[in-house]
């Protein structure tokens, strides 16, 4: 039990508290308004100071949680970015493959070649050749030695050797390569040889008086049985001519149509066309101005001649039975074409 003095003190405090509460509830500018304002300012300042001092400690949890969320978000975005980059690279590679296949299909449809598509899996020298590639098609795919190898731009080489699943191809730019070539439009023939440079060939004319100009396109005149080179395959474009008409040797520099540094999808010609496609396989976008089936050239003395043949001569439009029509090149090997 409390003592009498304690009970009196508690009673006084209770009465005072009730009095203060009643006076404060009246509102307005009571006797305690100024005291309450001062206390609010003091307590507000203390609260702000305490918040400033202790905010780093109290906010450490939320800061750590926010940093962890941001790190997870960065990792997620980085993963998505890598995935999108990989998809873009795959899409670009697929587009390149589709373009290469489209080019092969164009060549095959125009020239009536049968081919087996293959992908380049290796590049490097082999045996006596410096410029060779390896493709993922071999004997199991019907590939044999000395078959022509092309891409959408034209001739790139011939099959050197085969295994069950792969083939080694020697490129036409190799120094040991020689291809029988023909100037589109005029039909002048010669030997196209590699010089060991990826963007250059040499074309030596068999006839030193033949007319050859910068911008002329070259195609293969074909080998016997279509091996090693099928007829009518685009080779390249003349970019320089050395020597003048009448010299013993006239050599032209040729830039191959096919880019040997960007080979991906190629086609191995398994069966040449029944008829020489002549110049029809040449890409029209090259701006070479080549007519697919050019008329044979005539000399000045024949310029005024009509269709009437001269006495004792056969008409040029009616070849003898068993001979190839005029304007077609006989399918002979390179060795037989050389003088």
Sequence-distant (6+) residues with CB within 8 A of 126 are 132, 160, 168
Residue 288 lies in a domain: yes
Instruction: Supply 50's token pair.
Output: 């305490």
Q: Mean pLDDT across the stretch 67-75?
A: 82
Query: CB–CB of 288/281 below 8 Å?
Result: no
34 pLDDT higher than 50: yes
* Span 160-215, pLDDT tens digits: 999 999 999 999 999 999 999 999 988 899 999 999 998 999 999 888 888 889 99
Q: Examine residue 253 and state whether it is found in any structural domain, yes or no.
A: yes
Structural domain that includes position 245: 60-297+331-339
CA 212 to mean position of chain CA atoms: 33
> What three-state secondary structure class fits 263?
coil
Answer yes or no: is 36 within a domain: no
CB-based contacts of 166: which residues, under 8 Å, 6+ apart? 121, 134, 135, 136, 137, 138
Tracing tokens 């500018």 back to the chain, one arrives at 29
Let me know if residue 44 belongs to a domain: no
* Cα torsion through 12, 14, 20, 23, rounded to 10: -100
Most confident of the following: 85-99, 163-177, 318-332: 163-177
If one counts the domains in the chain, the total is 1
pLDDT 10s digits, 97-156: 788 888 888 888 888 899 999 999 998 887 788 899 999 999 999 999 999 999 989 999
Average pLDDT, the chain: 77
Q: Quick check: is 220 in a domain?
A: yes
Task: Find all residues with CB under 8 Å of 147, minimum gap 6, and list them.
Answer: 158, 159, 227, 228, 268, 269, 270
């Amino acid at each position: 039990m409390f003592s009498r003095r304690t009970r009196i003190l508690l009673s006084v405090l209770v009465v005072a508290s009730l009095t203060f509460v009643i006076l404060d509830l009246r509102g307005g500018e009571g006797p305690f308004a100024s005291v309450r304002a001062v206390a609010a300012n003091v307590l507000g300042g203390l609260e702000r100071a305490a918040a400033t001092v202790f905010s780093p400690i109290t906010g450490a949890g939320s800061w750590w949680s926010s940093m962890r969320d941001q790190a997870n978000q960065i990792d997620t975005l980085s993963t998505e970015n890598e995935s999108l980059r990989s998809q873009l690279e795959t899409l670009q590679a697929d587009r390149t493959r589709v373009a290469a296949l489209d080019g092969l299909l164009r060549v095959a449809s125009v020239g009536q070649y049968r081919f087996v598509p293959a992908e380049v899996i290796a590049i490097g020298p082999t045996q006596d050749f410096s410029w060779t590639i390896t493709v993922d098609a071999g004997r199991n795919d019907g590939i044999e030695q000395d078959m022509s190898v092309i891409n959408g731009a034209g001739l790139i080489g011939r099959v050197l050797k085969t295994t069950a699943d792969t083939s080694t191809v020697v490129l036409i730019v190799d120094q040991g390569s020689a291809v029988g070539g023909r100037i589109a439009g005029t039909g002048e023939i010669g030997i196209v040889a590699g010089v060991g440079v990826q963007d250059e060939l040499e074309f030596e004319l068999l006839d030193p008086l033949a007319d050859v100009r910068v911008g002329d396109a070259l195609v293969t005149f074909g080998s016997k049985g279509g091996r090693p080179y099928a007829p009518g395959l685009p080779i390249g474009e003349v970019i320089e001519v050395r020597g003048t008409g009448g010299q013993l040797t006239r050599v032209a520099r040729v830039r191959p149509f096919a880019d040997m540094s960007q080979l991906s999808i190629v086609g191995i010609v398994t069966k040449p066309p029944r008829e020489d496609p002549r110049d029809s396989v040449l890409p029209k976008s090259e701006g070479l101005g080549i007519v697919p089936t050019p008329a044979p050239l005539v000399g000045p003395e024949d310029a005024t001649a009509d269709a009437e043949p001269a006495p004792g001569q056969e008409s040029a439009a009616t070849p003898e039975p068993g001979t190839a029509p005029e304007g077609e090149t006989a399918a002979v090997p390179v060795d037989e074409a050389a003088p």
